[in-house]
Structure 1
Amino acid sequence: MVPAELTQNAANGAPVVAGYDVGKVWVTVRWTYADGSAHTGLTKAVPIATTGSRLQVWVDHSDRVVGPPTSRGEAALDAVATAALVAPLAGTAAWGAGGIRRSRLMRRLAEWDAEWQQIGPQWRNFSDGKG
């Protein structure tokens, strides 16, 4: 997070048209690092902000303005939502795999039964001393 300064009046900025920041506008900001290098980027601000107003912006390693990092609460909510979506999918996948395995086993058992229907009577005759 770095301190930045508006380079224009926010009233002249383009309005944010979607998301949680509707009512804010896009403005250009400028910030300077300790080494003296100046950078600019776009961020959202309230429409009443004026040129020279100070605000804090988050920047990434490429010096682009980005949103703030995820809070603990947001991360926990994301984890719970992911688990709530993935758990039924994993259960369905396991149930489906079991169903496929069961159908293959039942087919094999049916084949064995058909073979036994052919071979079984011959075995009985052989074991009775008639074969």
Structure 2
Amino acid sequence: MRRLPSMTAFRGPRVWWWRWRSNPLRRRSDALEAWVVLTVWVVSVVGGVLTGVASTHSVEHGLAQERAQWRPVVARLTEDAPKATASTASGAGRVWADVRWTGTDGRSHAGEARVTARSRTGTTVTVWTDGSDSLVTRPASLSEAQIRAAMVGVLVGASVAAVPYLGGRIVRERMERRRMAQWDEAWARFGPMWGRKTG
């Protein structure tokens, strides 16, 4: 049984960088499109990488400051902690309760913290405070900070890179529509001449 040739046989060999080479068939729009593609890729890659790296360093720096400035303090429950409910079961049996602690200024401070369910009044718990003796969450560890910073850097870098990439796609689509319109115009002009006999 005779095999049909594959479609690639009709396309011919792929020619790389054809828009950059001297070619009598290359149109001005082809060269312009080549510059658009090059610009889009350079801006997308360089902009995405630079903003991603900057975002990663910024997040790492902020989390490092939290680790340096936030400190654990011992607080005491001022009321019995409630029992765990279905909504708090996912939090390993921890609930919100009122606590009191002594700040760096020597004054007594009060607030709400997550504690073990059913803890009694007077039970000591460890809470974290910032430089103004306000309650904060436990700061991220070094490994947690690195993972968080890397994720933020990737997301920010990808978002920044997507802007010129999408812009380039829009420009190329408009160029393609204009090119098709020019082809239609040329076909309307020269198509009827085909088949005419000359001489």
TM range (shorter): 0.5 to 0.7
User: In 1, distance between residues paired with 2:167 and 2:105?
Assistant: 60
Cα deviation, residue 90, structure 1: 4.1
Matched, 1:79 2:149: yes
Cα deviation, residue 60, structure 1: 3.2
Identity among equivalent positions (%) equals: 32
Q: Output aligned runs, 1:24-63, within 5 Å.
A: 24-63=94-133
User: 1:25 aligns to what SS in structure 2?
Assistant: strand
Report what 2:76 is aligned to.
5
Cα deviation, residue 80, structure 1: 3.0
Cα deviation, residue 64, structure 1: 3.1
Cα deviation, residue 37, structure 1: 1.2
Instruction: Tell me the amino acid that sits aligned with residue 3 of structure 1.
Output: V
User: In 2, distance between residues paired with 1:63 and 1:99?
Assistant: 52
Instruction: Tell me the amino acid that sits aligned with residue 4 of structure 1.
Output: A
Number of equivalent positions: 117
Note the residue ranges of structure 1 that are not aligned, 5 or more in a row: 119-131
- Could you tell me the TM-score, scaled by structure 1's length? 0.61
User: 2:117 aligns to what SS in structure 1?
Assistant: coil
Instruction: Tell me the amino acid that sits aligned with residue 65 of structure 1.
Output: L
Report what 2:11 is aligned to.
none
Indicate how the Cα distance of structure 1 residues 87 and 33 shifts in structure 2: closer, same or farther if over 3 A, else same: closer
Greater RCO (Cα-Cα under 8 Å, separation 6 or more): 2
Greater displacement, 83-92 / 106-115 = 106-115
Any idea what the Cα deviations from partners look like across 1:26-53, whole Å, max 9, x if unmatched?
Answer: 2211112354311111111112532222
Report what 2:63 is aligned to.
none
Cα deviation, residue 97, structure 1: 1.6
Judge conservation of contact 2:75–2:100 (CA < 8 Å) in 1.
yes
Indicate how the Cα distance of structure 1 residues 109 and 34 shifts in structure 2: closer, same or farther if over 3 A, else same: closer
User: In 1, distance between residues paired with 2:129 and 2:111?
Assistant: 9
RMSD of Structure 2 on Structure 1 (CA) = 3.5
User: Of the two, which has the highest radius of gyration?
Assistant: 1
Cα deviation, residue 85, structure 1: 3.5
